[in-house]
Structure 1
């Protein structure tokens, strides 16, 4: 589904991504882990084209996308939920969802019903301003907005950050349903280990801009957790 080979990225003189090699398979949830500042968000932003890559190749569904503009990558089927949600606070819930329709393949102007099935609160608060929602409600809106595009892969950056436990559980259930019912691939950045273990099939750990370990989630050892994930 998504293949990254030899990816390098710099921020000024800082080498932020170092020869990244990753494969995210179709219909699987892949969790990118590591302490703060190791390059996880930078990697997502580079995959989406928000940051330039110095070198390397990014392929999506077998085609090179590393020279495409961000909007073209989105049109190919990449959905993105950024850290901090970044909804439009002055727009209503429904207006936030409609904004995403502009990037949808095929030009369909209807918001998929599944979004309201996954997140009923979005229908209940359709006319409420995004900035008036709670943090958990805003996160549901951010994920729903990304799903408007009906993507093939969803990039999720710290979806549990600052969210109450019942919404964390709801997000986990939605991820599991998207994978099992629709075969959606997910590239997840997450530091909460119980959540990661509950939803992810595979993992990679980053440290100082490099991938230092990968494997199936049930192979994530306590020694790796202690060395690279414990604060």
Structure 2
């Protein structure tokens, strides 16, 4: 696998996979025969455990341009929604939530604002054993009710206190930063990921890659856009 990587995918020096291959072959041919069955069982168990989590055994080819285009569509739509709505429309109750339209728009923006934290956490968890991520997701799932309260109050407060102009500026700057960050990613880094608390959001899955995280804010945005009652 390391030998077939390109430079864009973070290929190590060619000597690295050669050294790794030799390091594996030498013990394989020098160990006593009695150790082969036990070693095979350990290897098999490791492979099964590694493949239990989704997306760990495949390297998805991510269309970064499509993600960029979705970011720009959401940015333009967000600006248009705020520019075109009257104060009365923004104070109107949204469909299916306890927020008014302005508070719901801030919640839609929040999906982009939290991306820096989500991406940073994914980088950390990807370096830790799988059980750490699963335990973390379990703890967060157990705290769903307090999260729901904080989630509601945060969007209520933000949508009440933050001006339209500030929301537009925050959206523009945040999405611009996400564009730059996505440009620095390669297919290998986009395939990293961690378990997520599925009770926190309908778009959170048991395991999400960094590529999934880049798609999340637009999915979140489009879902809640249907709940606006501006017309």
Q: Do they fold alike, i.e. is TM over 0.5? A: no
Range of TM-score over shorter length: under 0.3
Structure having the higher strand fraction is 1
Larger Rg: 2
Which TM-score applies when normalising by structure 1?
Answer: 0.23
